[in-house]
Amino acid sequence: MDIPKILDITAVEESLKGAVLLEKFGALPLGGHMVLNHDRELKPFYFQLLEYTGRSFSWKQLENGPEIWRVKVGKRSSAHCDDSIGQMVTNDSRKAAVFKELGIDFSCGGASTLTEACEVLQLDVDMVLLKLKGDLPATSYPAMDFPHWDTGFFCKYLINLHHGYVRANLPFLLEMCEKISQAYGAKYTELREVQTLVKQAAEGLAANMKQEEEFLFPYLTDLAYALKSGTRLAAPEQGSLRPVIYAMEAAHERIYDTFSRIRQLTNGYQVPDYVTHGFRILYKILQEFENDLQMHLHLENNILFPAAIRNENELLFRQLQVEPTFKS
């Protein structure tokens, strides 16, 4: 029986909290767990783990204040297993509709297994499996063999389709948020927070897409070409792709968290009665934007990034195999 160790973060000196958490997590065996106790919200530590270890951990809220916060943290044996939520959607994109309906995050939470996801949301696994095996709705997303695409082409696809979608639709979304908030904010006070959150997401997306287009995607394209051509490729400044990708995944999750809060504030984009057409358009655009964002982040987190790490490992192995050996 797994009896998790308990780490009381409250008792740790403020400047050492993050380092102690990473040390204790690193000491966990694969499949092991620990419980974190704190006197305030633990989500900052979630993002710290994500930035330093990637999606190699599970995170289950046990107690959520107001006096104590408790979370169960586990070390996964693999961040990209065959029965993960993300892999299920990769194998059959129609399953995304079932996960959306049930509130299961397949984009940033794609490393979770179905059992883990159901445990967090208190869903019956058999019921979810029944839905997944039933008649699945047609999807607006094309059925494409993304895992076998050339990485360079995949990056261009993401820029043209999903980055292009953000650039084409975000200015209008921001404009509509401002107009509807000004017109209805006094009565529907949540609109003011929605406007703030959309601005926050816009800033995060702009920074994320800039870094991907100027550094990460060109490097991934060069990496794929070096594998095909047998040429050498200098490692990134960080020495490995992993720190870059972990930082990207953390940025993605912050953006997705922002839209999760928007969805909660708008009651799942349910339009109030007796409002104008403009109000309805805003909620429709918000929902469509989130739908595209989910698939956008799924393609990067669950397909592109794991493929990039595999490519880097293979190239490093090949280069080590051909390194000359000198005798003293």
Distance of CA 42 to the CA centre of its chain: 18
Count other C-beta atoms under 10 Å from residue 281's C-beta: 14
Cα 7 from Cα 24, distance rounded (Å): 8
- In this model, does residue 175 exceed pLDDT 70? yes
- Per-domain residue ranges of the chain: 5-75, 85-133, 146-321
Average pLDDT, the chain: 90
What is the pLDDT confidence band of residue 177, given thresholds at 50, 70 and 90? Answer: very high
What is the pLDDT confidence band of residue 173, given thresholds at 50, 70 and 90? Answer: very high
Residue among 205, 166, 196 nearest 178 (CA) = 196
pLDDT at 202: 97
List residues bridging with 34 in a β-sheet.
5, 73
CB contact set of 192 (below 8 Å; sequence gap of 6+): 181, 185
pLDDT at 81: 67
pLDDT at 228: 87
pLDDT at 210: 97
Stretch (H or E) spanning 119? helix 114-121
pLDDT at 227: 87
What is the pLDDT confidence band of residue 19, given thresholds at 50, 70 and 90? Answer: very high
Say how many CA atoms lie within 13 Å of 207 toward its Cβ.
13
pLDDT at 328: 43
Say how many CA atoms lie within 13 Å of 75 toward its Cβ.
18
Across 34-56, average pLDDT: 93
Q: Which of 201-215, 256-270, 314-328 has the lowest mean pLDDT?
A: 314-328
Buried b (16+ CB within 10 A) or exposed e, 2-11: eeeeebebee
Cα 38 from Cα 70, distance rounded (Å): 7
Cα 48 from Cα 54, distance rounded (Å): 9
pLDDT at 65: 85
CB contact set of 138 (below 8 Å; sequence gap of 6+): 94
What is the pLDDT confidence band of residue 318, given thresholds at 50, 70 and 90? Answer: confident
pLDDT at 2: 61
Domain 5-75 of CATH type 3.40.50.2300: no
3-state secondary structure of 72: strand
Across 292-306, average pLDDT: 95
pLDDT above 90 covers a percentage of the chain that reads: 70
Measured in degrees and rounded to the nearest 5, phi and psi for residue 8 equal -90, 95
Cα 204 from Cα 152, distance rounded (Å): 24
305-321 vs 241-265: helix crossing angle, rounded to 10: 180
pLDDT at 235: 73
pLDDT above 70 covers a percentage of the chain that reads: 94
- In this model, does residue 324 exceed pLDDT 60? no
Residue among 10, 127, 5, 171 nearest 73 (CA) = 5
Cα distance between the two ends of the chain: 54
Which tens digits make up the pLDDT trace of 233-280?
Answer: 877 776 789 999 999 999 999 999 999 999 999 999 999 988 899 999
Across 204-209, average pLDDT: 97
Report whether 289 contacts 173 (CB < 8 A).
yes
pLDDT at 323: 58
Across 190-216, average pLDDT: 96
Residue among 61, 59, 72 nearest 6 (CA) = 72
Counts of helices then strands in the chain (DSSP H, E): 13, 4
Structure token pair of residue 157: 């696809």
pLDDT at 257: 95
3-state secondary structure of 38: strand
pLDDT at 76: 86
Across 73-79, average pLDDT: 81
Residue among 80, 81, 118 nearest 99 (CA) = 118
